[in-house]
Amino acid sequence: MNFIKRAWLNVIRKRGRTLLLILITSAILLFVLSGLMIQSAAEKAVQNAKESAGTTVTLSANRENAFRQMRKQKQGRTELNLASVNLKKAKKIASSKYVKSYNVLSSTTATAKSFKAIKTTTGSSGSSPQGGPMNGNSNSSSKTSLSLSGVTATSVTSAFTDGDNKIVSGRGITTSDQGTNHVVIEKELAKENNISVGDQIKIKSNSKTVTLKVVGIYRASSSSTSTSQMQQSDPSNTLYLASNYVSELKGSSNQADSVVYTMKNPAKAAAFIKQEKTLINTSKFSLTTNDALYQTMLTPLNNIKSFAQKIVWLVGLAGTIILTLIVILMVRERRYESGILLALGERKGKIVLQFLVELLMVLVVSSVIAVGGGKYAGNLLSKQLVQQATTQTVSSNTKRLNNSQLGGGNNSGMSQGMNNPGQSGGATSQNQQQTTNLKLSLSIKTIVEVIGFGLLIITISILLGTINLLRLPPKKILTH
């Protein structure tokens, strides 16, 4: 009678013990499979985050150095001179292998000529938007300036990609609009002045009166105001045009205020900055990264991935210990059988293989059970992990936002308080969507991994549990 047949008969006859082994092994494999599935889903979500988060690097004037130079001026002048970005150099940087797309930004102010801008009334408490006392005897002021925002394309502009603005009629500014007078205006501004797509409007900027053609209308979801040159302007007064057209209005052709580069891989932003710093004058310009959304999305996903890995290893360790103890008890219970077989000339290796085959039979049944219920168990576990990770992230973001508002000073604190909520909320919303959309899938690779993990646990358990059997001679096994 060979050891495989003996193993089969032993499994059939000892039904209670076999059932117990199946239950324990199934529980171990269920948790291991759930952990592997969650880990795999988190890795895919991290990859998706890299593609969708849109980490950006901005090339702009070095404000810190500009302020330092301004303070050094002995004449007591308070004029801040900021260098403009040369478009030729900006496009050369955009050819980097790390860059997915880029957006040239140029801004200025204007006044409405053929229509009325939305009036913004501020303060009856005698304070300006910046928190200082207002000049004059009036307790309120109306600011009706227009903000001209020049872009390469609205589709890659943060206000639109973050969901703060949305095109509701016509189209946005595209690369084909460069050099044209096409403009996209806000819905409320269009409504107040009965302006439709295809209409023409007139504005005055830097002593120039120009005619613009409306090609699109957008809706601004933000209720905060934007500030330009110390004047407050309602978001509805922001007009989007081609960046080079705005630069021409300012009298600075082939120049821009800043250029925003979107990275192909957010993790390569630091490498991109290091590479491109050699092409710019760092005393006049700076490259700054904005990967807040990527990091916000990455943190909970990495936490989930890490926790899933811990589940796999902790369950594997606990499973090995439990099965080892069971094997030790099983060997001790069957020491007489083992001693007789050894006395009859059976080799110790075959007796150990018999125990191994018995557990392999148990593993086959347990694997079927684990594969059948693994996705259900994994979904339950992932929901708990996602909920915990999301709660921690929201709490962390709230604390960081509160700290920035309280510790930012009069100007910076107020600026952050006015401008950051929408961005922070957008980041948190995308982060929650990314984590709640953690899709678990049962692949052949995962099944092979969990079976391999089960084989490893069983092999280690058998080797540890049969040490005495391998060490002692048959006579001592029978008399022990």
What is residue 348's predicted lDDT score, i.e. its pLDDT?
Answer: 81
What whole-number distance in Å separates Cα of residue 173 and Cα of residue 159?
A: 13
Q: What is the DSSP letter of 280?
A: S
The dihedrals phi and psi of 280, each to the nearest 5 degrees, come to -120, 160
Mean pLDDT of 435-448: 77
Least reliable range by pLDDT among 87-91, 107-111, 169-173, 437-441: 437-441
Site of tokens 């360790």: 317
What whole-number distance in Å separates Cα of residue 387 and Cα of residue 389?
A: 6
Q: Mean of the per-residue pLDDT values for the chain?
A: 77
Rounded to the nearest 10°, the torsion over CA 392, 398, 402, 408 is: 90
What is residue 38's predicted lDDT score, i.e. its pLDDT?
Answer: 84
Sign for the pseudo-dihedral over CA of 286, 78, 414, 84: negative
Pairing of strands 182-186, 238-242: antiparallel
Model confidence band, residue 75 (pLDDT cutoffs 50, 70, 90): low
Q: What is the DSSP letter of 235?
A: G
- The beta strands (E) that lie in 189-296 are given as 200-205, 208-220, 226-228, 231-233, 238-242, 255-256, 258-263, 285-290
122: enclosing H helix or E strand: strand 120-122
By C-alpha distance, which of 143, 147, 149 is closest to 118?
Answer: 143
Q: Which range, 28-37, 45-54, 274-283, has the best average confidence (pLDDT)?
A: 28-37
Burial pattern 416-435, b for ≥16 Cβ within 10 A else e, equals bbbebebbbebbbebbbebb
Q: Are residues 206 and 223 in contact, defined by beta-carbon separation less than 8 angstroms?
A: no
Mean pLDDT of 104-120: 89
Model confidence band, residue 202 (pLDDT cutoffs 50, 70, 90): very high
What whole-number distance in Å separates Cα of residue 246 and Cα of residue 383?
A: 49
- The beta strands (E) that lie in 48-117 are given as 56-61, 85-86, 99-112
What is residue 129's predicted lDDT score, i.e. its pLDDT?
Answer: 38
Structure tokens at 456: 């490893």
Least reliable range by pLDDT among 70-74, 101-105, 405-409, 415-419: 415-419
Least reliable range by pLDDT among 133-142, 263-272, 334-343, 358-367: 133-142
The percent of residues in the chain predicted with pLDDT above 70, rounded, is 75
What is residue 361's predicted lDDT score, i.e. its pLDDT?
Answer: 92
**Is 80 exceeded by the pLDDT of residue 423?**
no
Decide which of 354 and 434 is more confident: 354
The percent of residues in the chain predicted with pLDDT above 90, rounded, is 19
Dump pLDDT digits (tens) for 152-188. Answer: 999 988 888 878 899 999 999 999 999 899 999 999 9
What is residue 154's predicted lDDT score, i.e. its pLDDT?
Answer: 92
Model confidence band, residue 78 (pLDDT cutoffs 50, 70, 90): low
Mean pLDDT of 236-240: 92
**Is 90 exceeded by the pLDDT of residue 210?**
yes
Helix axes 409-436 and 348-407, enclosed angle (nearest 10): 150
Model confidence band, residue 216 (pLDDT cutoffs 50, 70, 90): very high
What is residue 226's predicted lDDT score, i.e. its pLDDT?
Answer: 47
What is residue 289's predicted lDDT score, i.e. its pLDDT?
Answer: 81
44: enclosing H helix or E strand: helix 15-52
* CA distances from residue 193 to 2, 110, 117 in whole angstroms, order as listed: 94, 17, 9
**Is 90 exceeded by the pLDDT of residue 436?**
no
By C-alpha distance, which of 38, 21, 4, 5 is closest to 300?
Answer: 38
Burial pattern 186-218, b for ≥16 Cβ within 10 A else e, equals bbbbbeebebeeeeebebebeeeebebebbbbb
Residue type for 417, please?
Answer: G
Site of tokens 């004058």: 281
Model confidence band, residue 13 (pLDDT cutoffs 50, 70, 90): confident
**Is 50 exceeded by the pLDDT of residue 421?**
no
What is residue 404's predicted lDDT score, i.e. its pLDDT?
Answer: 45
* CA distances from residue 263 to 44, 56, 159, 168, 268 in whole angstroms, order as listed: 19, 6, 17, 28, 7
What whole-number distance in Å separates Cα of residue 132 and Cα of residue 152?
A: 36
**3 state DSSP class of 79:** coil
Q: Are residues 99 and 188 in contact, defined by beta-carbon separation less than 8 angstroms?
A: no
Q: Are residues 217 and 197 in contact, defined by beta-carbon separation less than 8 angstroms?
A: yes
What is residue 422's predicted lDDT score, i.e. its pLDDT?
Answer: 39
What is residue 262's predicted lDDT score, i.e. its pLDDT?
Answer: 86
**3 state DSSP class of 211:** strand
Q: Are residues 246 and 108 in contact, defined by beta-carbon separation less than 8 angstroms?
A: yes
* CA distances from residue 92 to 38, 59, 154, 320 in whole angstroms, order as listed: 42, 12, 22, 58
**3 state DSSP class of 100:** strand
Dump pLDDT digits (tens) for 224-234. Answer: 444 444 345 68
What is residue 170's predicted lDDT score, i.e. its pLDDT?
Answer: 94
**Whole-structure pTM value:** 0.59
